[in-house]
Amino acid sequence: MYRRRLAELRRVATAITGSREAGLDAVQDAFAAAIRQRGSFRGEGSLDAWLWRIVVNTARDYTLTRSTLPLEDGADGPGVGVAASESVGADLHALVSQLPERQRLTLFLRYYADLDYGTIAEALQISPGTVGATLNQAREGLRQLVNEVPS
């Protein structure tokens, strides 16, 4: 799982923390925590979702307990994989950072990690219907923010 999902885990953690370095540290700490807590996995959900929950919570802890710098140019954050200039990526990051936390996390897990609604729901401990509604709210929020940005 580590080898298969490492790139997505790093992208999401970097997006949550706002710093490539903090994102990489968060993923490393999350895997260490997962290994230490492996006995707490009860098998009620998927192992993938359990690991995502640990990574998301660890990255969230990094944003609360460590001061981070904004994403550096070329970091694996918003705009990755988008054929646009680096300034567009930075602008998108600024817009996404204005969304409420659950909307940001849901966007990151859906579009940076390509997780399905069920896995996102398990990772964030919400219902799959709430995932869909939250994604719609996030997209609408971004539309409104884009319309407010001066040209």
Residue 30: which residues within 8 A CB-CB, separation 6 or more? 9, 13, 51, 54, 55, 57, 58, 59
Return the CATH architecture of domain 2-148. Answer: Up-down Bundle (1.20)
pTM for the structure as a whole: 0.70
pLDDT digits (tens, 9 = 90+) for 18-70: 889 999 999 999 999 999 988 888 877 788 889 999 999 999 998 876 644 44
Burial class (CB in 10 A: 0-12, 13-18, 19+), 52: buried
The domain ranges of the chain are: 2-148
